[in-house]
Amino acid sequence: MYIDLMSPKKQAETNNKNPKAKKVYIETYGCQMNQADSEVVASILANDGFAITDTADNADVILLNTCSIRDNAEQKIFHRLSHLRQYKKKKFKLVVGILGCMAERLKTKLIGERDLVSIVVGPDEYRSLPSLINQAIKGEQGVAVELSKVETYEDITPLRTEGVSAWLSIMRGCNNFCAFCVVPYTRGRERSSSYDSILQQTIGLYESGVKEVTLLGQNVNSYNDLNAKKDFPKLLEGIAQALPYLRIRYSTSHPHDMSDELIYAHEKYDNICNFIHLPVQSGSSKILKKMRRDYTAEEYMERIAMIRKNIPGVSLSTDIISGYCTETEEDHQMTLDLMKEVRYDGAFMFKYSERGNTLAEKKYPDDVPEEVKTRRLEEIIFQQRAIAGEINEAEIGKIHEILVEGPSKKKEEMWQGRSDTNKMCIFPYNGEKEGDILKVKVVSANSATLFVEIKK
């Protein structure tokens, strides 16, 4: 298979210069998979003659690529739609579309939302976007929300924004059906892109100047190309061998697919980053069972021990849900204890949000009061910050290798880069270039950031 990485970019540049081309603005919410999907959508549209713009102000078409993971993610979109009505007042023919997980979950219900939405397109139907948009411009409404067992978009080169890091979606969907989670319903069944297409894309990315690739999937480590007989550790190994100077990351792993082979691949290849995101969700085995997570707290800790033993200096992060159905103070304490035992470098922490149609919604009452959820979440966040602060403070004086990303988003005169262990590193700018890989020494730290100096 030959994949031309330059073609969507060239096409987009040509369209952007054409005053007659309709301008599409895409706004992305949710996870990295959605960000990667928006790049696929931009590529499909550029290929069909649309111009891609980075502002809603002068757009003919506004697409919101949405997330349904928690109720507040959806509320955010409804607010955004209310806000977008001003654009419709200015431009009567403006087309507004909803893509992504909310489109899949709410389907036709979204048509006409806030007197605005005229197209609704689920994650497996992005190829139909050009025709749906063209119809919508003529005043027709359109809904495309079929889920597919095979769609991977592996033949489409995403229209990426410039940068030294790139995402690459390697599998779609999820078969795990964790009781709390909406993803298997919004993204459909699990399927993997072919080994060859992924290898080609990563080689192409590297040749075009990308220094770091993050392989993406909702359950990325269950990747399996059955035809090529390549599972996830073999895929990692293939890329790591073919491109020894490319940094490789991946997200998100499920603990039950965190195999010994995967851990050994980290040990064997320096360019597979020393960082693993391994969501635990809860420290109570009783709660994990009710979540249908497929492992006990003890089994999870056994995986952590195996990781720590074989990957020295590894950095670990996790996801936690606080206040899940039937969670008692004792269960909550077990989560705090597990987090204290693992000592995560980072964590994403959430209050449980009941989602329609999930097993949890059907089977268990959402019985932890809101104020208790809030208090438990605060305790979890407070403890995690303290631990991350201690871990980062212990980094002072240590040497890391960082990939320079560019100017710091938070501090003027400073630039930022990421360590192999995924820590944000800030340093005073002194002529460094994006994409440089530099040795640095940590001089100070807080729970979120390392302040470093460049080692000459």
Position closest to ligand SAH via CB:
319
Least distance in angstroms from the C-beta of 174 to ligand SF4:
3
Token pair in block for residue 71: 């109720």
Closest to ligand F3S by CB, 100 or 158: 100
- Closest CB to ligand SF4 among 121 and 181? 181
Q: Which of 75, 108, 177, 369 touches ligand SF4 (CB under 6 A)?
A: 177
Question: If binding is defined by CB under 6 A, does position 184 make contact with ligand SF4?
Answer: yes
Residue 13: how many other CB atoms lie within 10 Å: 12
Minimum CB–partner distance for residue 29 and ligand SF4 (Å): 16
193 within 8 A of 169, measured Cβ to Cβ = yes
Q: Using alpha carbons only, give the angle 390, 392, 396 rounded to the nearest 5 degrees.
A: 110
| Contact letters for ligand SF4, residues 201-230 (x by CB under 6 A) | -----------------xx-----------
Q: Which of residues 230-259 bind ligand SAH (CB under 6 A)?
A: 252, 254
Q: How many residues bind ligand SF4 (CB under 6 A)?
A: 10
Minimum CB separation from ligand SAH for residue 69, in Å?
Answer: 5
Q: What is the signed CA dihedral for 292, 295, 296, 299, rounded to 10 degrees? A: -170
In single-letter form, the type of residue at position 269 comes to: Y
Task: Choose the stretch contacting ligand SF4; rule: CB under 6 A; options: 117-125, 180-188, 204-212, 392-400.
Answer: 180-188
Tokens of 317: 């992060």
Which does residue 415 bind out of ligand SAH, ligand F3S, ligand SF4, none, counting CB within 5 to 8 angstroms by kind? none
How open is the CA angle 40-44-45, to the nearest 5 degrees? 115
* Site for ligand F3S, rule CB under 6 A: 30-31, 33-34, 67-69, 100-101, 182-183, 186-187
Least Cβ distance, residue 223 to ligand F3S (angstroms): 16
AA letter at 211: K
350 binds, among ligand SF4, ligand F3S, ligand SAH, none (CB under 5 to 8 A by kind): ligand SAH
Return the residue of 34, 219, 282, 421 that touches ligand SAH, per CB under 6 A: 219
* CB of 173 vs ligand SAH, minimal distance in Å: 10
The residues binding ligand SAH (CB under 6 A) are: 69-70, 180-181, 183, 218-219, 252, 254, 279, 281, 319, 321, 350, 352-353, 355
Q: Which residues bind ligand SF4 (CB under 6 A)?
A: 174, 176-178, 181, 183-184, 218-219, 254
